[in-house]
Amino acid sequence: MSGRADQWIRWTTTACVGLLALIAGIVSYLHMHMLVALHGQPGWVAVLTPLSVDGMIVAASTTLLSDSRSGSRGGVLPWALLVVGSVASLAANVAVAEPTVTGRVIAAWPSFALIAAYELLMRQVRHGAARGCGLHERTTSTAIAQA
């Protein structure tokens, strides 16, 4: 695939993930805030708790991405934090939903869509890094062979 096509694909995926992050962030934040407040926590706790959940997901994801780019599969801790954060986010969204299957699916959808789209973006970044490493290795070995 051409560099221009790769660039367009990455830009489009990034823009979609950004839009989904905005939508899911707002919806998920409101759901988690409501859940924490309904369970008697002070206002400032209700304000900060959703940020701690989403922050843990982002930190775990970027750690796994960094590990992947350096050739590692990542440890148990970042994977566990990613799973726990994702489950907590989905559970909070579902917990405040209308108690019907449709209501729960609608409430869970933005969080699920963000998690899935973010993973698609991370796959592109990992593949881009792998291609870049392969290109660098070929260029280096060609230069060495010509010397």
Cα separation, 124 vs 98, in Å, equals 36
Residue type, 6: D
- CB of 117 closer than 8 Å to CB of 35: no
> Which residues in 1-147 belong to E strands, given as ranges?
none
Among the listed residues 147, 127, 146, 125, the one whose alpha carbon sits nearest the alpha carbon of residue 135: 127
Distance CA 142, CA 51 (A): 49
pLDDT, one tens digit per residue, over 32-88 is 999 999 999 999 999 999 999 988 988 998 898 888 778 777 789 999 999 999 899
- The string of pLDDT tens digits covering residues 9-23 is 888 888 888 888 888
Tell me the whole-structure pTM to 2 decimals. Answer: 0.72
Mean pLDDT of the chain: 82
Chain-centre distance of CA 127, in angstroms? Answer: 16
Helices 43-69 and 76-95, packing angle to 10 deg: 140
